A and B are shown apart, each in its own frame.
Chain A
Amino acid sequence: DAGVIQSPRHEVTEMGQEVTLRCKPISGHNSLFWYRQTMMRGLELLIYFNNNVPIDDSGMPEDRFSAKMPNASFSTLKIQPSEPRDSAVYFCASSLTISAGGLLGEQFFGPGTRLTVL
């Protein structure tokens, strides 16, 4: 398996522009997570999908952020409009949720997208 795939690996954009980050989870995994990592705040969970359904989006910072998972093999995280404070590394991770009660399995991370908003 190729692991979790993210694109682009690097993105530089100007303030106010729309940014779309993409993720392909590991085949067979039913949970997908979007994280943001900064020096100041560390790694923060933004949103979590289970079986393509958003379960917890309490970490999404504001309405400028949105995430979709149209099918089991693809997810996007969109920022519109982008701001300089959105500059960070964005990680996607996937796992196999073990039970209906939500026991989360081992998480596997993608390489991340380094976003710079000027």
Chain B
Amino acid sequence: KQEVTQIPAALSVPEGENLVLNCSFTDSAIYNLQWFRQDPGKGLTSLLLIQSSQREQTSGRLNASLDKSSGRSTLYIAASQPGDSATYLCAVSGRDDKIIFGKGTRLHILP
């Protein structure tokens, strides 16, 4: 059974710093991995989607990497801003089209 873990559960960093969020999964037989952002009281916004054949995806200040063999993905945020404060979730889809979400990392950027 696929399990997705995100550590740490919460993170605070000063504005301007670069940071890395982690996502690990137990079954490497995945089709893709998706990173989402969720603001308080809101729905999820898709940030990046990495197919199983890809190693990374970039969008603006965000870069997501995927290492299937080790069951890990990272989301790199460059030059963090207060507006980046949110909860970040990763989700993997795999065999039988099961989609499993991590519980997220709550990020707070300190002005």
Contacts and interface: CB of A to CB of B under 8 A. Distances in A.
The residue among A43, A45, A102 with the most chain B CB atoms within 10 A of its own CB is A43
A108 B31 CA distance: 17
B43 A42 contact: no
A66 to B, nearest CB: 20
B97 A42 contact: no
Interface in A16-53: 33, 42-45, 48
B46 A103 contact: no
A110 B43 contact: yes
A107 B34 contact: yes
B61 interface: no
A43 B88 CA distance: 12
Contacts of B45: 109
B32 A91 contact: no
A111 interface: yes
A104 B42 contact: no
B103 A108 contact: no
Contacts of B104: 42
Size category of the A interface is 20 to 34
Nearest to B94: A104
Interface in A86-118: 91, 93, 102-112
Contacts of B100: 45
A12 interface: no
A44 B98 CA distance: 11
Contact of B99 (A104, A109, A110, A112): A104
A91 B42 CA distance: 10
A113 B31 CA distance: 29
Interface of A: 4, 33, 42-45, 48, 55-56, 91, 93, 102-112
Given A45-B98, A108-B46, 9 more contacts: A42-B101, A42-B104, A45-B101, A55-B97, A91-B43, A93-B44, A102-B31, A106-B34, A107-B99
